[in-house]
Structure 1
Amino acid sequence: MFVDPLFSEELLQHIWQFGLFNQHRLSTIKGEPVTIIHAGTLNRDAGPDFTAARINIGGVEWAGNVELHYRSSDWRKHGHHRNQRYDNVILHVVFENDAPALNIPCLELQQRIPKMLLKRYQQLKEDATFVPCAPLLPRITEEDWLSWNGKLMRERFERKTSLFMNWLQQNHFNWEEVCFRAMAQGFGMPVNTEAFLQLAQSMPFVLLARQRPHLQRLEALLFGQAGMLAGSFKDAYPQQLQEEYRFQQHKHQLESLPSHGWRWLRMRPSAFPTMRIACFAALLHNTPHLFSRILEIEDLPSLEKLFFVDPSPYWEDHYRFDIPALRTAGIGKAGVHHILINTVIPLLHLYGRHMGLLQYQQRAVRFLQQLPPENNRVIRAWAAENTKATSAWDSQSLLQLKQYYCEEKKCLQCAVGKRLIRGADVNECREDELGWTGEEEWEEGVLF
């Protein structure tokens, strides 16, 4: 008897759903002939695994539910004999029949499932390489990859914008305030994301909005709230910021954050939190009503230009207070692109989706397709597997695929993984086997 230690009911559901077993002369364990007219609809809620199935058993056509288990004894182990939800089960499908027959017809599949299918499934689950099925990706047709790519990006947008949506609901849909928080988070990525977000939330948004015409006051509030103006300074500029912050702190009853929350190690000086805060202050100073300005911009070069900001003169030769530098660099093109990809574009797409304005969703998609791919460890590893991203759209979908499918071993929910398990040529698979539905495909370049 073949027993796969990694065999799961999820795999058995997949096998049943797509008929990946020998269906010639099927019969129940009592010898009744079985013909599958319709396997049913996979049920992701409580209750039987498949609903609305139609199956001919012993010459009689039945309509109802189908329940699947690894072993037939699992029916009682799971307490189904005491649950009314399972009263309408017309067929019990199992990998191995190890218990006395129930009143419900039982179909055993152990000898009907190709052993190679089980072996491939086990190999994928056990393989510790970067992506076990990466060599298969280049064989997917462009049309199929676009559809699968679209599903990945739909998930990616939803993950990135769920926090924005929570903020909107909390502040009665003040898009400018949400944009401010999102930008702060974006300027802190990747290592100071949480610290920047705490900084943005440590003071009223309206207070910063009033100080936008005065860059020095903006810096005083931001650096002071960040806990970076405590102690004594040699340079005149931080002394001025310190004095301004003390006045604002007393006036508005502000409480600064602890300075130890900021991370400085193993990063380029241009990514130091001091430089990012200075550039963030310059952006707020240069662009009143930042979110409204983002909505107005229709081309990528203009959007990039908006975020290429020069901080105040002090930061031309300093990366930190009181520590001179021969030459400094601002946020840089890679940093700007990182903010656009992870903050600006998802926020733009969310606005279009929430307001029902197609043009903003299309613009967000277009910007991602125009931006170059990200250059990080994951994307370089994909390239080493001959799967190269040509745009930020590609790199984002590959990050989603790696993080939420490959690393979590969700091979049966991945179009590529399912094809590899079946061992079929990717061009021979039906569209309904790919793992997405029509409503998740792209229409006019917008993911719904």
Structure 2
Amino acid sequence: MQEDFLHYIWKHKKIDFGELKTTNNEDLIINSVGTYNTNSGPDFFNSKIKIGNQLWAGNVEIHVKSSDWFLHNHETDMNYDNVILHVVWEEDTEVFRKDNTVLPTLELNSLVKPNTLENYRNLFSKGNKWINCENDFNSISPFLMNNWLERLYFERLERKSGAMDTMLKSSKNNWEAVLFKMLLKNFGLKVNGNAFGSLGNSIDFSIVRKVQSNHLSLEALLFGQMGLLENSIENAYYMELSKEYKFLKQKFGLDNTNVIPAQFFRLRPLNFPTIRLSQLACLYNKHQNLFSKIIETSTIEDFYDLLNVGTSNFWNTHYTFQKESKARVKMLSKSFIDLLLINTVLPLKFSYNKQNGISDDSILIDMANAIKPEKNNVISAFNRLKDVANTSLHSQALIQLKSEYCNKHRCLQCAIGNSILNK
């Protein structure tokens, strides 16, 4: 038995409210269960309960066993002085107030509706299950599923906006600087995300501003800080970049000692750091005020046009500085742009709206629903249970569901888990 389940029982009134009695056989009428408290202190505030002939207003504390009151040292905590009812699964000892009167106790083990208890035990039964509700996941109604996934999507945006708020504060509210750092990290994808992120932290965005109109200078800045210009390579392009980076390093006092080296191993050539950095340089060389354009853009088609960039000419015939390859124009693919939209653009627009008091999120929802879902092991596993991930909103929501609810067994705080318990 989990205490969370007892919170659920009390909050949603999943007991027979007919003729309740305390463990001391006093009549009990619950007028209001109170407000659920997720912070420290009693579990429910401002409850209204009639015990015997006396109407009480105060707090309710819930435990699996009544002796947990002493296990948690509530008898010495003044925050619990206003508890008017102790709700427990089993009373194994009496609890006394400071004036030595018995704290009224309600024992739940004979009051919970049988189907609720059976559903709870089935949901949390031990076994080799990927998620607790995998046997019932397919039975969840589309209406409940869609509403819950939309809420989870915004939970995920909220989590991402927290990291963004920290970056915004450190950059003195420079949204362009925050966008640059986020884009740089996400251009690195999973393998080089941390490396590209450390590169972003090594460059003040004011330097990017000063050089972005000169494409060669911007590439030299990115390649040089990433440590990709430290070899002796005999080609004109490489030598020109090296010369320009040495000038920039001296002029701006650049330091890349804390930049994590980028990896080429086990990457598709189109994801090589050289290609992604050149594409990012092209993007910033083409758009001098990229953040403003992103905020003004509101359709997927317009974003595909905005982010439609390639590399400098050298990379049309190269993937690395050393070796020439078959000629190929290396534009950002739509699937890569989708990842940038999911992981950078939409969280950024959400955070910007929140900071500026814009409550209409319809554009974000429309855009998220216009992007194809991501492909990974989590999404594939959910789709095997139920064909549910049809858009990026769904896939992002399912990632949030798995990481923040399923993995932590928070079924009682999940709309799907609640639906199963209510069967």
TM over 0.5: yes
Question: Residues 201 and 24 (structure 1 numbering): CA distance in 2 closer, same or farther, change over 3 Å?
Answer: same
The residue matched to 2:40 in structure 1 has which SS? coil
* Counterpart position of 2:111: 112
2:3 is equivalent to residue 9 of structure 1: yes
2:58 is equivalent to residue 64 of structure 1: yes
1:270 touches 1:331 (CA, 8 Å); kept in 2? no
* Counterpart position of 1:192: 192
* Counterpart position of 1:242: 242
2:194 touches 2:260 (CA, 8 Å); kept in 1? no
Paired amino acid for 1:48: P
Q: Distance in 2 between matches of 1:73 and 1:363?
A: 52
Paired amino acid for 1:353: K
- Listed as ranges, the gaps of 5+ residues in structure 2 are 97-101
Paired amino acid for 2:255: E
* Counterpart position of 2:354: 353
1:260 CA displacement: 5.8
The residue matched to 2:21 in structure 1 has which SS? coil
Paired amino acid for 1:283: L
* Counterpart position of 2:21: 27
Q: Distance in 2 between matches of 1:299 and 1:41?
A: 41
2:90 touches 2:108 (CA, 8 Å); kept in 1? yes
Q: Distance in 2 between matches of 1:69 and 1:356?
A: 41
* Counterpart position of 1:253: 253
Q: Distance in 1 between matches of 2:66 and 2:161?
A: 44
* Counterpart position of 1:411: 411
TM-score where L is the length of structure 2: 0.91
Percent of paired sites with the same residue? 35
- Listed as ranges, the gaps of 5+ residues in structure 1 are 1-6, 425-448
| Cα RMSD, aligned residues only | 2.2
2:225 touches 2:259 (CA, 8 Å); kept in 1? no
1:258 CA displacement: 6.4
* Counterpart position of 2:290: 290
Question: Residues 80 and 358 (structure 1 numbering): CA distance in 2 closer, same or farther, change over 3 Å?
Answer: closer
1:228 touches 1:259 (CA, 8 Å); kept in 2? no
Q: Distance in 2 between matches of 1:143 and 1:73?
A: 43
2:145 touches 2:416 (CA, 8 Å); kept in 1? no
Question: Residues 139 and 158 (structure 1 numbering): CA distance in 2 closer, same or farther, change over 3 Å?
Answer: same
1:421 CA displacement: 2.8
Question: Residues 298 and 27 (structure 1 numbering): CA distance in 2 closer, same or farther, change over 3 Å?
Answer: closer
Q: Distance in 2 between matches of 1:417 and 1:108?
A: 24
Q: Distance in 1 between matches of 2:295 and 2:76?
A: 58
Deviations 1:28-73 (A, max 9, x none): 2222222222222212222221122122222333222111111111
2:87 is equivalent to residue 86 of structure 1: no
1:135 touches 1:386 (CA, 8 Å); kept in 2? no
The residue matched to 1:93 in structure 2 has which SS? strand
Deviations 1:215-273 (A, max 9, x none): 11111110000011112113332122112111211222211246763233332111121
2:90 is equivalent to residue 96 of structure 1: yes
1:112 CA displacement: 2.4
* Counterpart position of 1:334: 335
* Counterpart position of 2:120: 121
Alignment of 1:133-152 (within 5 A): 133-134=133-134, 136-152=136-152
Question: Residues 201 and 179 (structure 1 numbering): CA distance in 2 closer, same or farther, change over 3 Å?
Answer: same
2:181 is equivalent to residue 178 of structure 1: no
2:303 is equivalent to residue 309 of structure 1: no
Q: Distance in 2 between matches of 1:326 and 1:414?
A: 52
* Counterpart position of 1:162: 162
Question: Residues 264 and 396 (structure 1 numbering): CA distance in 2 closer, same or farther, change over 3 Å?
Answer: same
Q: Distance in 2 between matches of 1:37 and 1:89?
A: 16
Q: Distance in 1 between matches of 2:143 and 2:395?
A: 18
2:226 touches 2:259 (CA, 8 Å); kept in 1? yes
Q: Distance in 2 between matches of 1:348 and 1:355?
A: 10
Q: How many residue pairs get matched? A: 416
1:336 CA displacement: 1.0
Question: Residues 358 and 63 (structure 1 numbering): CA distance in 2 closer, same or farther, change over 3 Å?
Answer: closer
2:220 touches 2:241 (CA, 8 Å); kept in 1? yes
Q: Distance in 1 between matches of 2:303 and 2:127?
A: 43
Paired amino acid for 1:50: F
* Counterpart position of 2:210: 210
1:227 touches 1:258 (CA, 8 Å); kept in 2? no
* Counterpart position of 2:70: 76
1:134 touches 1:387 (CA, 8 Å); kept in 2? no
Question: Residues 303 and 73 (structure 1 numbering): CA distance in 2 closer, same or farther, change over 3 Å?
Answer: same
2:276 is equivalent to residue 276 of structure 1: yes
The residue matched to 2:20 in structure 1 has which SS? coil
Question: Residues 120 and 320 (structure 1 numbering): CA distance in 2 closer, same or farther, change over 3 Å?
Answer: farther
Question: Residues 260 and 321 (structure 1 numbering): CA distance in 2 closer, same or farther, change over 3 Å?
Answer: farther
Q: Distance in 2 between matches of 1:259 and 1:19?
A: 56
* Counterpart position of 1:380: 380
TM-score where L is the length of structure 1: 0.87
The residue matched to 1:183 in structure 2 has which SS? helix
Deviations 1:66-91 (A, max 9, x none): 11111111112222222222222221
* Counterpart position of 1:437: none
2:137 touches 2:385 (CA, 8 Å); kept in 1? no
* Counterpart position of 1:47: 41
Question: Residues 234 and 120 (structure 1 numbering): CA distance in 2 closer, same or farther, change over 3 Å?
Answer: farther
1:136 touches 1:416 (CA, 8 Å); kept in 2? no
Question: Residues 275 and 95 (structure 1 numbering): CA distance in 2 closer, same or farther, change over 3 Å?
Answer: same
Q: Distance in 2 between matches of 1:43 and 1:298?
A: 39
2:198 touches 2:260 (CA, 8 Å); kept in 1? no
Paired amino acid for 2:354: R
1:41 touches 1:51 (CA, 8 Å); kept in 2? yes
Q: Distance in 1 between matches of 2:258 and 2:166?
A: 26
